[in-house]
Chain A
């Protein structure tokens, strides 16, 4: 018997243990999943030293575009589209008519357009009215004000047609001037309140009323009807229980914001933890990890770090003694807060998103330790979360203690957690929308009063399903459609015109020179002007790393920096070295430079310290000179500085360590240079991709680009995106040296790949897009025979440079409109050298489209610096479209990423962008904060995106639709971006001017109004006097 008991008991115990361990592992898994899911939502921006553009809503890319926006706006508490009034402004400035809006609406609704809503018209009519007229949303308190203080209670809206208003008032008057007859049908709620309303003004009084009184009475009935209707209508299913953070509940209940103390400490500690060497002392115990360092740092103190955190050191001492990991600490906190299992994930997400910038930076530094100078121990984000929960608990306990609440925190929180907006105010808000729509549509109060409960439910459903978000989605489509039609018609019209007009626009025979630059939208105008100055030249666009991905270290650089798109991991290192003749001079200068820098560094550090600073203060008066000079005369000062620093500058005669003979051994960490086959492959790849296979001019110019500006923490965001936020000059130089190499050429010829003529010379150039200056590389290597070609090119480039600067200046509000091209060049140079300039250039702002195809299809079209131009020749591609595949694999994510980053930074500059530049404060040498302390600000600043028009990038690709579809679907990333509508897509037939538009997975033929594209004599004639976006125009 005992044995049986024993067996039963031991079986029972074993099962219990098994269950226990099972639930613990389940819980651990759940927790891990929840934390990793939450981390996914953090912004993915790394150090500002190398700014890489990416889709801000990358975490939502698996959803279709508009679904993602809706999801993101709730999770991240942000606006994902412009506001309705901004959209109306856009419609006005773009000259879009309401007929065009209606057309898009009809198309989106499809067969549902004619769906009748009771006897109140059809869905299309309802939605069209809601689009045309702004339906104001008012919160309960504002609503009360509107009804009580404004005219909206007794006057129709101003934008209601007079005839509509007259008819409604007249009908109501006829119906109610006599004795009141009960309205039979309809909801029972309405009749009593209606009767009450009528009783207040009996028949005798009503007879004396004039027009205004009847209008007020009509509106009153209408309001009563709407209010009653919202009460009887079936409730829309709410979006499920929202988990409120502990802080939100405490704030609602007691008016104390515990984020004040929590954020204060977390910001201070996290920036010390992440510091890349700004502070003169590093955080003690940093190598132990974030959590341990935090516990050790705050465990003993005679005062808490913040008055809200009284009791912190006791809690931390307890945690230290229990010796648990940060994971265990998180689950302990969750248990103490008594969270249900299904609440954990939204709760942790909301908690982590309290400081998204710092959390995201911890994650970036942790996972991309190769991109920062000082790495951090692993698991920092989890630690960060654990610490936050501990702090919130301590602060929460204090609030309960101070307010005399006897409950313990978990119990209090679980009681007050689920929080829903009060239904009554929600009803009022809905009723107010309905009230406005009823006025706009001219509905009679009586008709509404007769509606049945089902009728009300249907009507309210229609109104709520076309809320602000849906209306803005539609506006978004309208704006994008308008731009798309103009660009596509422009390309079509251009084609038509070239058929008729003489084809002199396209050079025949050997061009004067060929110009290869980055696909960057900023180079569009430069190419246009070069082509205008010398009609017999050809320009190409290729991603600005020119097929040479490398780690590069210039003569003056201390470290290698990657120069290639972020997706590529370079395999080669290239160093710039000084020619042996200049070696001594160089070493001498290097020593001087080092000495100078060491002094500067000493000054920098000691001006912040005790004794050194004192001495400096006496010489401080001397700094008035540079201060006044640099602020008042930036241009002259910078010229002076340049002349002075040229004493310490490096000689121009340098070389690249490009060539290597043997293939690298596997244990070589720093593979210096390229082998011959690798160089051949690089040259061939670029030539093939841009379709430059047969015709070679005597001079081929390859132009990389970057940007230099002063006092600008976001400087690297202005650089070449295809170089991962670096400057593309060295890539152009390396490519030219490869292409000029006789062995490479021989090999190319021998293999029958490309036959580059002997008299063709490749010349590398660097374009600074901020001050529009050009730097030429290896001029000494240009053969004597090419001196004339070079002279000619430089002369043309100078004209194009000034014209380009002039076109840029039209966007700057502070540039006078009367500038001559040469003065414009001086103006942009001054901007680049001015310490006080917050808009040195507008970078990619206004980017809107990307054209992949032959330049001849867009040459002669004014595209307003809004279009990325990638060269691709479909006639030279194989039937499998191998070339297009590899071009799109890079171009779609890179250009799409740039576009989407601008998109979201523009629509919500405070949440997705980094706000205004003015209060920015560089911290930890990693990022910027607002003012003294704030979350780390990611994204682009207001000054960068203010002129941007947020539309999704339109890809126009020269390829037949069916093969394009195959190409797109071959790459999962492009398939996702295109398929989910994160970019728009159109196909241009290589032979004809036929076009197809990608819509919901299929290509539909494009039917635009042809011949609408304006003609203009020159670019400047088209843009002069305009600051706004300009539509494409054909240059005659």
Chain B
């Protein structure tokens, strides 16, 4: 019975993705009503199965972690290497998958109305389904390969949703920025996966955690390897959760339609990095260096976000930095080994932020009503509204307004040199090829013969 429930929980998002993506491929455009109904139905079915699963585990008071294994893709018994899809339902993944279902379901209902008559309605729901699938896979993943699949889907759909309004330049530029950072963290995760397989021959979290269920699992890897794997996991988490020093993309990601901003950056995908750290927390616990690093990164992020958040003037950036403060704190908690606390923190924060982001356009009205009730304008009540002009105050204001100078730092010292280096290589290569083939630089494309008819014949 549990198998069926678990399978439905995982399969219904996939079915949705196949429906919304497959039909247009077959030349059948998806109508607004169909997309809305299909989304609602499949989310409800999946959620129903999830509730049923939770109830039956509670009733049977099953203490063991439930694992669902699908397909054996590679199995090399000689080297103890095998690769298969594996999902686990334990104390960490069940709350997270609940959160995913509740928030994605709510957002889907919201978007049905919100995106009505929008040209990209179909595209939005397709990307939404991709995100939803990726999220469910990632949180339920029982092995690092499965996690990687979900992780990738989440990254791809998030970047495409940032660039949702593709006819303007800003969303596309910012989408590319998000994508670049995500690729970096993807690469780190990938290398970590290879590293684990290489040494332990498998990537199952259950095995890695010493077959003790979360959160009491312990590390079974040898120390040297654990350190490097842990470090790579931290890099992956830093990119995905916009931790310091890669925080620059988060406020820039607020380009998509409001519901996508809400669910992706406010509530779910921003926590994926923290979730990864929770999942591999046995590895972190083994090394004081790694734990300290996590704590430091978390605190740096929180401090940056508090300083920057206080000077933001638009609601979406304000909420983005507010999210970042909490994510920083969550990561700190993980570093300190407070696993349950971090999990509760993730869930509570996700729900609160989604609500805040969804009603972000109400800010004018809220301030007006608040002002009326208080009997004075809201700004007068702010403690720091006096113009402070101490050196530190000016500095921190500037630091906040420039968002910690992170973007420009990477631009100047990594991205520009990188691009310039390869441009130079490109130039050299062209010149070299031209020299080899004895071709002079190409004539300007516009210099065509006078009559266009002539060209045709």
Residues 382 to 424 of chain B near chain A (Cβ within 8 Å): 382-385, 387-389, 393-394, 397-398, 400-402, 405, 407-409, 411-412, 416
Contact present for B397 and A834 (CB under 8 Å): no
Which chain A positions have C-beta within 8 A of B407? Answer: 306
Which chain A positions have C-beta within 8 A of B173? Answer: 260
Is the C-beta of B452 less than 8 angstroms from some C-beta in chain A? Answer: yes
Cα–Cα distance between A837 and B312 once the two chains are bound (Å): 27
Cα–Cα distance between A268 and B362 once the two chains are bound (Å): 22
Is the C-beta of B198 less than 8 angstroms from some C-beta in chain A? Answer: no
Contact present for A918 and B378 (CB under 8 Å): no
Contact present for B348 and A601 (CB under 8 Å): no
Cα–Cα distance between A283 and B312 once the two chains are bound (Å): 11
Is the C-beta of A835 less than 8 angstroms from some C-beta in chain B? Answer: yes
Place the interface of chain A in its size category. Answer: 35 or more
Which chain B positions have C-beta within 8 A of A924? Answer: 313-314
Which of the 9-residue segments A93-101, A671-679, A710-718, A965-973 touches chain B?
A710-718
Cα–Cα distance between A898 and B344 once the two chains are bound (Å): 52
Which chain A positions have C-beta within 8 A of B365? Answer: 712, 715
Cα–Cα distance between A715 and B364 once the two chains are bound (Å): 9
Is the C-beta of A568 less than 8 angstroms from some C-beta in chain B? Answer: no
**Smallest beta-carbon distance A273→chain B, Å:** 9
- Contact A307 B408, CB 8 Å, known A618-B348, A631-B358, A934-B170: yes
Residue of A nearest to B354 (CB): A627
Cα–Cα distance between A621 and B343 once the two chains are bound (Å): 12
Residues 217 to 245 of chain A near chain B (Cβ within 8 Å): 220, 223-224, 227
Select one of B171, B362, B385 contacting A277, CB under 8 A: B385
- Contact A597 B374, CB 8 Å, known A283-B397, A285-B389, A620-B352: yes
- Contact A609 B314, CB 8 Å, known A620-B348, A627-B106, A715-B364: no
Which chain B positions have C-beta within 8 A of A296? Answer: 394
Contact present for B387 and A930 (CB under 8 Å): no
Contact present for A608 and B379 (CB under 8 Å): no
Is the C-beta of B363 less than 8 angstroms from some C-beta in chain A? Answer: yes
Contact present for B361 and A922 (CB under 8 Å): yes
- Contact A556 B387, CB 8 Å, known A277-B382, A307-B408: no
Against A, the Cβ 8 Å flags (1 = close, 0 = not) of B267-285 are: 0000000000000000000
Is the C-beta of A85 less than 8 angstroms from some C-beta in chain B? Answer: no
Residue of A nearest to B374 (CB): A597
Place the interface of chain B in its size category. Answer: 35 or more
Cα–Cα distance between A416 and B417 once the two chains are bound (Å): 29
Contact present for B408 and A278 (CB under 8 Å): no
**Smallest beta-carbon distance A98→chain B, Å:** 31
Select one of A594, A631, A923 contacting B373, CB under 8 A: A594
- Contact A224 B170, CB 8 Å, known A307-B416, A711-B362: no
Cα–Cα distance between A619 and B87 once the two chains are bound (Å): 30
Contact present for B453 and A224 (CB under 8 Å): yes
Select one of A220, A597, A632 contacting B453, CB under 8 A: A220
Task: Please report whether the interface of chain B is mostly helix, strand, loop or mixed according to DSSP.
Answer: helix
Select one of B114, B302, B352, B448 contacting A623, CB under 8 A: B352
Contact present for B379 and A284 (CB under 8 Å): no
Select one of A49, A616, A620, A931 contacting B165, CB under 8 A: A931
Cα–Cα distance between A713 and B361 once the two chains are bound (Å): 6
Against A, the Cβ 8 Å flags (1 = close, 0 = not) of B82-118 are: 0000000000000000000010001001111111111
- Contact A918 B170, CB 8 Å, known A557-B372, A930-B165: no
Contact present for B364 and A836 (CB under 8 Å): no
Residue of A nearest to B454 (CB): A196
Contact present for B315 and A301 (CB under 8 Å): no
Against B, the Cβ 8 Å flags (1 = close, 0 = not) of A122-150 are: 00000000000000000010011001100
- Contact A281 B373, CB 8 Å, known A147-B453, A608-B321, A931-B171: no
Contact present for A631 and B109 (CB under 8 Å): yes
Cα–Cα distance between A920 and B257 once the two chains are bound (Å): 8
Which chain B positions have C-beta within 8 A of A374? Answer: 379
Contact present for A278 and B314 (CB under 8 Å): yes
Is the C-beta of A536 less than 8 angstroms from some C-beta in chain B? Answer: no
Contact present for B255 and A144 (CB under 8 Å): no
Contact present for A601 and B257 (CB under 8 Å): no
- Contact A918 B314, CB 8 Å, known A618-B344, A931-B255: no
Against B, the Cβ 8 Å flags (1 = close, 0 = not) of A424-453 are: 010010000000000000000000000000
**Smallest beta-carbon distance A824→chain B, Å:** 18
**Smallest beta-carbon distance B329→chain A, Å:** 6
Cα–Cα distance between A285 and B397 once the two chains are bound (Å): 11
Max count, chain A CB within 10 A of own CB: residue among B259, B310, B364, B381: B364
- Contact A932 B453, CB 8 Å, known A280-B384, A593-B373, A715-B365: no
Give me the 9 closest cross-chain CB pairs, A-B, nearest first.
A277-B379, A620-B348, A597-B373, A620-B352, A931-B255, A923-B314, A608-B322, A836-B113, A307-B411
Give me 30 A-to-B residue pairs in the complex whose CB atoms sit less than 8 angstroms apart, sorted by A's number. A49-B364, A144-B452, A276-B379, A280-B383, A282-B385, A284-B397, A303-B405, A304-B408, A374-B379, A425-B446, A594-B374, A594-B375, A597-B369, A597-B373, A601-B374, A607-B322, A613-B326, A617-B345, A623-B351, A632-B106, A836-B109, A836-B113, A916-B118, A916-B165, A918-B258, A919-B171, A921-B360, A922-B361, A929-B314, A934-B168
Interface residues of A (CB under 8 A from B): 48-49, 140, 143-144, 147-148, 153, 193, 197, 200, 220, 223-224, 227, 260, 268-269, 271-272, 274-287, 296-298, 301-307, 310, 373-374, 425, 428, 556-559, 593-594, 596-598, 600-601, 604-605, 607-610, 613-614, 616-624, 626-628, 631-632, 710-713, 715, 813-814, 834-839, 916, 918-925, 929-934, 943, 946
Besides A607-B352, A618-B344, A814-B113, 6 new A-B residue pairs in contact (Cβ under 8 A), listed by A number? A193-B450, A297-B394, A307-B412, A610-B302, A620-B353, A919-B257
